[in-house]
Structure 1
Amino acid sequence: MNKLFTLMVLAFVCTTATAQIDTSAAKSNTIKLPEEKNDTIRIGNIVIIKNGGNHVESNSRNTKINMGRNRHKKLSNISTNWGIIDFGFANYSDKTNYAAATVGQSLVNAPNSNFPLGASDFKLKAAKSIDVNIWFFMQRLNLIKHHVNLKYGLGLELNNYRFRSDISFKEPGFSPYSSTAAIPNAYVIRDSISFSKNKLAADYLTVPIMLNFSSNSGDHNRGISVSVGVSAGYLYSQRNKQVSNQRGKQKNKGDYDLEQFKFSYIAEIGLGPVRLYGSYSPNSIFEKGLDMRAYTLGIRLSNW
């Protein structure tokens, strides 16, 4: 009997100790769960709690789960676009006083000519007067939340004016109609032969600067983008290129009294991935005599 009683006491003590150990272990393994709400998901023993909208965490072992789209990376305050190309048309608004230009010898007519040089001689073949611009780079500087930006760059403007008539540009020198009459400035004559191709080319190194407004700050290839500003160009090349049966191909580089600098108002509009550009110069591209105010319009191949 004493032995049986002793065994029962030992069994009770062991059972109590085991229960205490299990209780302690249970307490140590117990995970406090937050009050479940509509944004709480339970999968077995894992509880996933949504934080915000796109990111959720479990409260066990710091497990993180991404749901939905990843957030956009932080946009850079300065971005650079390399190698931009423009294709368009070049033309001008003719404001020339032809009587004054003739008196000033910017226009030289043949002796006893009944048809002096006039506006019709400077009409262009619009479809063949081409504007090509090559921008080495353009940068965009964030001003206000990437919706308002400053755009600027550096590049070449290549303006080609294709004439309908047979005029020729000449440098200062003796008149083609008199070996004794010297003309102190560049001038234009109506030539004695017909040209199958007759154009004046003016090339500029140009710096544009624009204020840009974009409806989509995260993706400038979507939404609407509008830029307006000004540009300053430095004339580094001018030439009168002509093709005729009598003289063949001629590329006459010289000084034809074009202004050394060209100031223009410029604009750009983007509709999704399509971008159009335009420019207008309020001043004549010639120093004196002729008053031609250049403008361009075309399409721009650019990332933004």
Structure 2
Amino acid sequence: MKTILLAALFAGSTLTSFAQSDSTGAKTDTVRIGGMIIIKKPGKDGNESREVTITSHRRNQLSNVSTNWFIFDLGFANYNDNTNYAAAQQSGFVTSGIGKDQLNLRTGKSVNVNIWVFMQKLNLVKHYVNLKYGLGVELNNYRFDDERVRFSKNPTVISFDPTLDKASKNKLAADYVTAPLMLNFNFAPRRHNSFGFSAGISAGYLYSARQKIKDDGHKTKLHDDFNLEKFKLSYVAELTLGPVRLYGSMATKSMWEKGLDQTPYNIGIRFSHF
């Protein structure tokens, strides 16, 4: 079987072979095939048995383009609220009784989930500097601390509804198709669990928005864009600490076309190979 294996390797590759002698004077045959060296040594005491050792002498080559499929992010969603509520009430976008306190979020229950169909890393400088980009969906759930907030549409009005005082859930969901573009710095490119960071921007398009209320076991959903900005541009960053990967994003401006001045941000953990 060893003879057949060696014959097949000879037939399928360009070979370079030569003979050496070990310290006992016995002949040792060495065959080089691409990135492998096959060493064939005689058995002990000159018998007919043979020992074949295969070693590799080629360093692992890193691909200039690496692809990671179906990356999952799990984190928290929130926003910086700089709204002038007196002006917002005067414009009719919010009613009396709605202020910053009513639109505060429950931090532990306002969730961001991202599902990236793919992310690619393009080598720029010896794999230490790379261009990183991808495409996926960004799902944000803003859970209101005051359950009595109610949205209406055509036109959008945010009001205070006392009948929702016993509601168990009240949230605004905003979902985007998003494409990030980052410059990646990898301090240990040949390590499986490397160290580094990425920073750049992402562009998102709002494809779905809705308010979901759960009151006394009944669920209601109202679908509309609620005058949310259709396009969202964000600063994005990623930190790699061995097997742990963290991400963050911060929009460049308010998520609303008018009425409210709330700039969203996300932070969480990324489940990714690079």
Q: Distance in 1 between matches of 2:38 and 2:116?
A: 48
The sequence identity of aligned pairs, in percent, is 47
State the partner residue of 1:113. none
Larger-gyration structure (1/2):
1
Q: Choose from 246, 252, 260 the match for 1:290.
A: 260
What secondary structure, in the 3-state scheme, does the structure 1 residue paired with 2:226 have?
Answer: coil
Q: Choose from 160, 163, 168 the match for 1:190.
A: 160
Instruction: Map Cα deviations across residues 38-87 of structure 1 (whole Å, 9 max, x no partner).
Output: xx9734244899xxxx99899xxxxx9766x7543321111110010000
Q: Distance in 2 between matches of 1:56 and 1:233?
A: 52
TM-score, structure 1 as length reference? 0.72
Instruction: Map Cα deviations across residues 229-253 of structure 1 (whole Å, 9 max, x no partner).
Output: 10000000000000112x8210111
Q: Distance in 1 between matches of 2:130 and 2:168?
A: 46
Deviation of residue 118 (structure 1)? Answer: 1.1
| Aligned pairs for 1:207-218 within 5 A | 207-218=179-190
Q: Distance in 1 between matches of 2:203 and 2:230?
A: 11
State the partner residue of 1:176. none
Q: Distance in 2 between matches of 1:235 and 1:159?
A: 11
Number of aligned pairs?
239
Residues 57/189 of structure 1: CA separation in 2 closer, same or farther (3 Å cut): closer
Query: What amino acid does structure 2 have at the position aligned with 1:224?
Result: F
Instruction: Map Cα deviations across residues 246-304 of structure 1 (whole Å, 9 max, x no partner).
Output: x8210111131100011100000111111000000120011111111101011101111
Q: Distance in 1 between matches of 2:105 and 2:19?
A: 83
Matched, 1:87 2:74: yes
Q: Choose from 104, 123, 136 the match for 1:123.
A: 104
Residues 32/238 of structure 1: CA separation in 2 closer, same or farther (3 Å cut): closer
State the partner residue of 2:219. 249
Structure 1 segments unaligned to the other structure (5+ residues): 1-30, 34-39, 59-63, 110-115, 173-184
Matched, 1:147 2:155: no
TM-score, structure 2 as length reference? 0.80
RMSD over aligned Cα atoms: 2.6
What secondary structure, in the 3-state scheme, does the structure 2 residue paired with 1:196 have?
Answer: strand
Structure that is richer in strand per residue: 2
Matched, 1:134 2:134: no
State the partner residue of 1:235. 206
Please tell me whether the aligned partners of residues 157 and 203 of structure 1 are also in contact (alpha carbons under 8 angstroms): yes
Please tell me whether the aligned partners of residues 19 and 28 of structure 2 are also in contact (alpha carbons under 8 angstroms): no
Q: Distance in 1 between matches of 2:181 and 2:215?
A: 41
Q: Distance in 1 between matches of 2:59 and 2:261?
A: 52
Query: What amino acid does structure 1 have at the position aligned with 2:137?
Result: L
What secondary structure, in the 3-state scheme, does the structure 2 residue paired with 1:120 have?
Answer: coil
Q: Distance in 2 between matches of 1:276 and 1:149?
A: 18
Structure that is richer in helix per residue: 1
Please tell me whether the aligned partners of residues 81 and 139 of structure 1 are also in contact (alpha carbons under 8 angstroms): yes
Residues 297/41 of structure 1: CA separation in 2 closer, same or farther (3 Å cut): farther
